[in-house]
């Protein structure tokens, strides 16, 4: 039996808390693991705590671009102290929608670069937020020797997808790919060895998902739709995704 992994989900988000015992039971029964990403110091702590409760939760610590003003030193220390317990660094990246001026964006870049240095030093994979900042990210990444790079919720154009493949990064698709033709076209043009799947819960998706909070239990639907788009059997794609996930995580 294979394991399916949600490559990017915020299980430490407060929205999931009341249902956590059910979520963990479902993960166990459905054979689904989670790359659990963090937003800031407090959610990094929550992620660590969750990973101690359940080995199916693979902890990623870091600072999201929305939280670039959080206490960087505390997060760096937390990552260093727990370097043998964490699976990766994330969610990190750049996003201009969260800043009002150039100084704010420069702060994001500085935080992102420090997270990349840490990932390089600790030889950990990274989970990257790249909304409308792929060009900036493509110019920064080559300066670092990184183990595994995931451009999560990939939303670039075909040329940027090619660039992502050229630099050896993984890209992930989630519930939006179930109904969005743009995402389905991108998926069909992605090298099969670089595809990962995710939910980015607790994000809410429209169309067939009716704006309900994304649950990790959406994963089989995401995999099913991806297998249809790629013309593969469900279990065939599951095996490919498991292999890709392991090589991304370096396990």
Site residues for Zn ion per CB under 5 A: 91, 200
Give the shortest CB-75-to-Zn ion separation in angstroms. Answer: 16
Give the shortest CB-200-to-Zn ion separation in angstroms. Answer: 5
Sole residue written with tokens 């089989």 = 220
Q: Which is nearer to Zn ion, 92 or 240 (CB)?
A: 92
Q: Which is nearer to Zn ion, 216 or 240 (CB)?
A: 216
The answer to whether the beta carbons of residues 51 and 22 sit under 8 Å apart is no
Give the shortest CB-43-to-Zn ion separation in angstroms. Answer: 11
DSSP 8-state symbol, 82: T
Q: Which is nearer to Zn ion, 6 or 91 (CB)?
A: 91
- The Cα-based distances of 4 to 33, 48, 164, 235 in angstroms read 6, 21, 23, 10
Q: Nearest 5°: phi and psi at 86?
A: -95, 150
Q: Which is nearer to Zn ion, 138 or 153 (CB)?
A: 153
Q: Which is nearer to Zn ion, 67 or 227 (CB)?
A: 67
Q: Which is nearer to Zn ion, 40 or 200 (CB)?
A: 200
Sole residue written with tokens 């997060």 = 75
Give the shortest CB-235-to-Zn ion separation in angstroms. Answer: 28
The answer to whether the beta carbons of residues 72 and 47 sit under 8 Å apart is no
3-state secondary structure 100-149: CCHHHHHHHHHHHHHHHHHHHHHCCCEEEECCCCHHHHHHHHHHCCCCCE
Q: What is the DSSP string of 9-53?
A: E-TTSGGGGGGHHHHHHHHHHHTEEEEE--SSHHHHHHHHHHHHH
Give the shortest CB-9-to-Zn ion separation in angstroms. Answer: 8
Give the shortest CB-152-to-Zn ion separation in angstroms. Answer: 6
Pair of tokens at residue 92:
């990190």
């Amino acid at each position: 039996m294979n394991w399916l992994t949600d490559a990017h989900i915020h299980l430490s988000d407060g929205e999931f808390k009341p249902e956590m015992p059910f979520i963990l039971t479902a993960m166990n029964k459905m054979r689904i693991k989670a790359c659990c990403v963090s937003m800031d110091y407090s959610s990094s702590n929550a992620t660590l705590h969750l990973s101690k409760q359940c080995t199916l939760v693979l902890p990623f610590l870091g600072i999201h671009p929305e939280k670039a003003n959080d206490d960087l030193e505390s997060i760096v220390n937390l990552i260093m102290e727990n370097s043998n317990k964490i699976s990766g660094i994330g969610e990190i990246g750049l996003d201009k929608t969260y800043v009002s001026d150039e100084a704010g964006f420069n702060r994001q870049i500085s935080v992102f670069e420090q997270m990349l240095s840490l990932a390089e030093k600790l030889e950990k994979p990274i989970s990257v937020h790249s909304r409308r900042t792929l060009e900036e990210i493509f110019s920064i990444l080559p300066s670092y020797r990184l183990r595994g790079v995931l451009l999560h919720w990939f939303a670039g154009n075909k040329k940027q997808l090619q660039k992502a493949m050229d630099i050896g990064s993984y890209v992930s698709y989630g519930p939006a790919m179930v109904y969005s033709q743009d995402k389905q076209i991108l998926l069909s043009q992605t090298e099969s060895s670089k595809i990962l799947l995710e939910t980015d819960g607790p994000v809410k998706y429209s169309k067939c998902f009716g704006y309900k909070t994304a649950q990790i239990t959406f994963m089989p639907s995401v995999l099913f739709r991806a297998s249809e788009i790629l013309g593969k059997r469900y279990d065939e794609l599951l095996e490919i995704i498991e292999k890709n996930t392991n090589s991304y995580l370096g396990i």
